[in-house]
Structure 1
Amino acid sequence: MTIRSFIKRLQDIMRNDAGVNGDAQRIEQIVWLLFLKVYDAKEELWEFHNDDYQSIIPEEYRWRNWAVDEKDGEAKTGEALLSFVNEELIPSLKNIEVDEHTPVSKSIVKFAFEDTHNYMKDGVLLRQVVNVIDEVDFTDHKERHDFNDIYEQILKDLQNQRSSGEYYTPRAVTDFIVQMVKPQLKDKIADFACGTGGFLTSSLNFLEEQVHSVEDREAYNQAVFGIEKKALPHLLAVTNLLLHDIDNPFIIHGNALEKNVRDFSEKDRYDVILMNPPYGGSEKDSIKMNFPMELRSSETADLFMSVIMYRLKKNGRGGIILPDGFLFGADNAKLAIKEKLMKEFNLHTIIRLPHSVFAPYTSIRTNILFFDNTHPTKETWFYRLDMPEGYKNFSKTRPIKLEHFAPAMEWWENRVEIKEGNFDKAKKYTVEEISSNNYNLDLCGFPQEEEEILDPEELMESYQEKRTELNKQIDSILADIQVMLGGKL
């Protein structure tokens, strides 16, 4: 069974159910059922290796005891199945008791179901969905790893539901960043807005080749940490790590911005931080109070950059995706963040990404900042990754691939300045040059291209994004003026 056909079969069944409204709800329904199936398969393995293993899930609610259809007429279906799921199964899993001594491998069940709902109203169709999911043998190593990419398919389907607000970082981008940062088994790797776990799973795939012993496997199992604010991506990330043979997926369901940055200690810091922070959003004033005055920003991505700096260990490395607005932004908070980054960290490389990498989510241009906590910045290299030959845009059907990063990867190992016509494609700037230019990092940008004619919907979306960004900059400047005037404007 292919991943695409698996998802399609489930969605085709659920389209006949009056209770499920749109692909976003269909996918949410698939995810919590899939989690229970995957978790049951993991429990089979844990039971095999530990005769004393006790499940945190009450016996009657374990997948094997209610979901499996033995074709003997005894499997729950129809109203009986609906009543069981709505009145017993989900409430029971929501109310599982955990404490600080509960292993992560068990407590994830409660956290996974904190915001879970059953949308289906037809118990016969629900039985059909359960049966399709039960066909997959997640105890089989090959079949389990064949399904490692299932979440990319789910997120690609979510792309069509723009109102869902889910942002998907293409696998090629996460793999490229990981390969440049080169995490090691001894490293603790973190993503404080991990979504479905793309950076974490790319890191695990990179680390897998370093596993040669039982001790290595233990280090692999404890290598990654994530925080995710939204319920659905959090559940996706947990299940994704289970599929990658992480027995204790340390993914917290919460907001990484809620803790005061001054309170972070050494135990809160990580060797490697890889992120695509959410941008375009704003946080309430109580969140901004967790940051020093000069670092308080109305832009979510700015606040995450500050968190990253406070949580990166000495000699640690970071690979962070940020929009163009961060590079050229000149409001007080952005300037303070960039100044802190360059004075306290070594911002050694910025890769300018071509447009439409994140299509169809957004047309905003993005960049990858690579830095480490070794010494203050002395010089920063900029490299412009151009659109591959034969491409005008990336799209859902023609996404960016790892091979498209080949020019940047080749340049990375043998850095030289490159000029094409009158435009710099790769160039090194000293920290003095950058600071004297008011920390404007908008360097080695893309030559002015002939304006593309967009269809009306894309044109409106592009206009709305640009207007939102400009409004934020104006609001930030007005807020600074208001402070200078003593709160009167």
Structure 2
Amino acid sequence: MLPAELKSQIDKVWNAFWTGGIANPVEVIEQITYLLFIRRLDDLHTLAENKANRTGDPIENGIFPVGNDDAARAPRPYNDLRWSVFANRAPDEMFEIVGQHVFPFLQQLGKVGSSYARNMKDARFTIPTQALLVKVVDLLNDIPMDDRDTKGDVYEYMLSKLATSGTNGQFRTPRHIIKLMVDMAAPTPTDTIIDPAAGTAGFLVMAGEYLREHHPEIFTDAATRAHFNGPAFTGYDSDAAMARIGSMNLLLHGVDNPTMERGDSLAEAHPQTDAYTLVLANPPFAGSLDFETTAKDLLEVVKTKKTELLFVALMLRLLKNGGRAAVIVPDGVLFGSSKAHTELRRILVEDHKLDAVVKLPSGVFKPYAGVSTAILFFTKTSSGGTDNVWFYDVQADGFSLDDKRTPLDAAVHEQDNLDDVLARWTSLSSTDSEELARPRTAQSFMVPKAEIVAQGFDLSLNRYQVIEHEVVVHRSPTEILTDLAALDAEVAGGLAALAVVVGTRA
């Protein structure tokens, strides 16, 4: 959580763009991201320089060219391209360096054929004036970015300012919901993780943070470290700006060479199938799309124009057998009566292993949208395996469920169920878990597969939850009328006594 003073500094950066003539929030985030990324590159090069100075060896893994003879990569002396240098230049020179030299350098920085190179080839410097660039650079200089956790929090706070809903049903997933899903999915050092609708790569970033916290041994072994910095993380997004932001977001969070591609995951050239062990996603709920643009192999699974159904079908294609998924879906996926809805649920329950349905409060995605949603957890088996499905009714997530979404008192347990969700979910691995015997009146409970099948594969929580109604014993009308008469008599007596007092004093 960022302190208020740091949030205020970030707000100043944001406001500088708006007053400087850039009002598109995505463009603002892009330009800030580029500048933060440039600053990060300078920090990495400085670390490499310091190591070389200590050891007396040549610089290893340096970012910038080591001399001025590499005109293709550095059309100016390389030092000029570094944040620590151009940030102290005169406004006109700084503007020229960043616009005409730093950005071309960024575009050529990635390895040929890498996803970074593909994303950055369209990177554009759009800050319109010298004055705005100087102001933003000065403001960013005052924001501490040395600590990796602080750096991540700073960037997340900036991303939270994307407060307008995107196109095609896209909207940003709250960070605490992402954390819950990642904690429940529990990534491992050997996982290959994909988000086919990655946006700013929030799920992939959080998975990386989980691995850093729970598996620090990754970074003591060359092979696992190489896996973490490359094949472990893959993201796709149809929006070029989101792909660039997501790519740099992962790099800013310490993932050196992730795969972050611009592409429509539902199109014919969707990501490689049977290649991943974990899917984490909140795909767009666009309503419908054109059959002609949709991959035929997905339509063979569920013939529908509903993107939310097609994305779940895609996830089953992406996963290896034994791979698992955590995905946010609109409530309609749980109980929709169309043939496609029913067939997809049947596939999850009968052909694979549906593990859990976690119902979220309807205000979780405000102010972006008021849609009611749930999280599905399932494992691809291609041979069934569903015995019982665990249901949990999240009634509070620690924030108000109105458009303001203000944090609630953390000391009040009833105002945040998320820790309880994780604790109960984790307990399911125990043979004597309380979850196995909880009644249907509880906040969480198990439902056997046979009952779900009998209900036409309906997965809505209300279908199985039993609501306890408090028995209220009402008094008889005669008793109530008697009490009212007594009250009337008491009032009349009081009025008579008051009249006597008033008359005596008159």
**TM-score (normalised: structure 2):** 0.74
Match of 2:35 in 1: 33
CA distance 1:91–1:217, shift in 2 (3 Å): closer
Aligned equivalent of 2:18: 15
Q: Is the 8 A contact 1:273 1:319 kept in 2?
A: yes
**Residue 118 to residue 265, structure 1, CA distance change in 2 (3 Å):** closer
Aligned-pair distance for 1:332? 2.3
Which residue of structure 2 lines up, in the alignment, with residue 407 of structure 1?
420
Give 1:369 deviation, angstroms.
0.8
Change (3 A) 1:355 1:226: same
Q: CA deviation at 1:360?
A: 0.9
Match of 2:193 in 1: 189
Query: CA contact under 8 A between 1:288 and 1:296: conserved in structure 2?
Result: no
Find the aligned partners of 1:248 and 1:433 in 2 and give their Cα distance: 46
What number of residue pairs does the alignment pair up?
Answer: 430
How far the C-alpha of 1:180 sits from its partner, in A, is: 1.5
Note if 1:259 corresponds to 2:268: yes
Q: Residues 261-308 of structure 1: CA distance to partner in whole angstroms, max 9, x if unpaired?
A: 7x9454xx2111111111135333333243233513212221111110
More off after superposition, 387-396 vs 162-171: 387-396
Which residue is equivalent to 2:289?
Answer: 283
Pairing of 1:10-409 with structure 2 (within 5 A):
10-18=13-21, 20-45=22-47, 48=51, 51=59, 53=61, 55=63, 58-60=73-75, 64-66=79-81, 68=83, 75-78=89-92, 82=95, 90=103, 93-94=106-107, 99-100=112-113, 104=114, 108=116, 110-135=117-142, 138=145, 140=146, 142=147, 144-159=148-163, 161-162=164-165, 167-208=171-212, 209-212=214-217, 213-215=220-222, 216-222=224-230, 223-259=232-268, 264-266=272-274, 269-290=275-296, 291-374=298-381, 375-376=383-384, 377-387=386-396, 393=402, 395-398=404-407, 404-409=417-422
Matched residue, 2:483: none
Contact 1:314–1:373 (CA under 8 A) maintained in structure 2: yes
* Residue 5 of structure 1: aligned partner: 8
Q: Look up the equivalent residue of 2:281 and give its one-letter code.
A: M
Post-superposition Cα deviations, 1:8-42, rounded to whole Å, max 9, x if no partner, equal 23223323323x12544333321222222223333
Secondary structure of the 1:41 match is helix
Q: CA RMSD in A?
A: 3.5
CA, structure 1 residues 163+241, in 2 after alignment: closer, same or farther (shift >3 Å)?
Answer: closer
* Aligned partners of 1:211 and 1:220 also within 8 Å: no
The range that moved more, 185-194 or 122-131, is: 122-131
In the superposition, relative to structure 1, how do residues 43 and 54 fare at CA in structure 2: closer, same or farther (>3 Å)? Answer: closer
The CA deviation at 1:82 is: 4.9
* AA aligned opposite 1:58: R
8 A contact 1:151–1:196 mirrored in 2: no
Once the two structures are superposed, what CA deviation does each residue of 1:371-419 show, in whole Å capped at 9, x if it has no partner?
A: 1124512321222122369956474323898953122223321314545
The alignment partner of 1:59 has SS state of coil
User: Is this contact kept in 2: 1:345–1:372, CA < 8 A?
Assistant: yes
CA positional deviation for 1:115:
4.0
Percentage of matched positions with identical amino acids: 25
When residues 35 and 295 of structure 1 are mapped into structure 2, their CA distance, relative to the original with a 3 A threshold, is same
Partner of residue 480, structure 1: none
Does the 8 Å contact 2:45/2:63 carry over to 1?
Answer: yes
Instruction: Measure, in 2, the Cα distance between the counterparts of 1:359 and 1:257.
Output: 26
Higher relative CO (CA 8 A, sep ≥ 6), structure 1 or 2?
Answer: 1
Question: Aligned-pair distance for 1:91?
Answer: 5.7
Aligned partner letter, 1:343: E
Q: What is the one-letter code of the residue matched to 2:74?
A: E
What is the Cα deviation at residue 321 of structure 1?
Answer: 1.0
Q: Is the alpha carbon distance of 1:178 and 1:70 closer, same or farther for their aligned partners in structure 2, counting shifts above 3 Å?
A: closer
Structure ID, larger Rg? 2
Tell me by how many angstroms 1:44 deviates. Answer: 4.1
Tell which deviates more after alignment, 323-332 or 386-395: 386-395
CA contact (8 A) 1:385 1:407 kept: no
Q: Residues 116 and 396 from structure 1, CA distance in 2 versus in 1: closer, same or farther, beyond 3 angstroms?
A: farther
Matching residue's letter, 1:12: N
**Separation in 1, partners of 2:215, 2:121:** 36
Give the CA deviation at 1:432: 3.0
In the alignment, the residues of structure 1 paired with residue 229 and residue 86 of structure 2 have an alpha-carbon distance, to the nearest angstrom, of 38
Name the amino acid aligned to 2:280.
Answer: L
Unpaired segments ≥5 residues, structure 1: 449-489
CA gap 1:259/1:389 in 2 versus in 1, 3 angstroms? closer
State the partner residue of 1:473.
none
Secondary structure at the residue paired with 2:285? coil
Q: Residue type matched to 1:25 in 2? A: E
**What secondary structure, in the 3-state scheme, does the structure 1 residue paired with 2:216 have?**
coil
Could you say what secondary structure the match of 2:417 adopts? helix
SS in 2 for 1:157: coil
Deviates more, 1:278-287 or 1:243-252: 278-287
**Compared CA separation, residues 392 and 89, structure 1 to 2 (3 A):** closer
1:38 aligned counterpart, secondary structure: helix
The CA deviation at 1:145 is: 2.9
Q: CA deviation at 1:242?
A: 1.8
CA distance in 1, matches of 2:130, 2:173: 36
User: What is residue 461 of structure 1 aligned with on the other side?
Assistant: none
The worse-fitting range, judged by mean Cα deviation, of 86-95 and 429-438 is 86-95
Q: Is the 8 A contact 1:148 1:243 kept in 2?
A: yes
Q: 1:63 to 1:344 in 2, by over 3 A?
A: farther
Aligned letter for 1:356?
A: G
Deviates more, 1:404-413 or 1:192-201: 404-413
Q: Give, in angstroms, the shift of residue 226 of structure 1.
A: 1.5
| Kept in 1: contact 2:75–2:101 (CA 8 A) | no
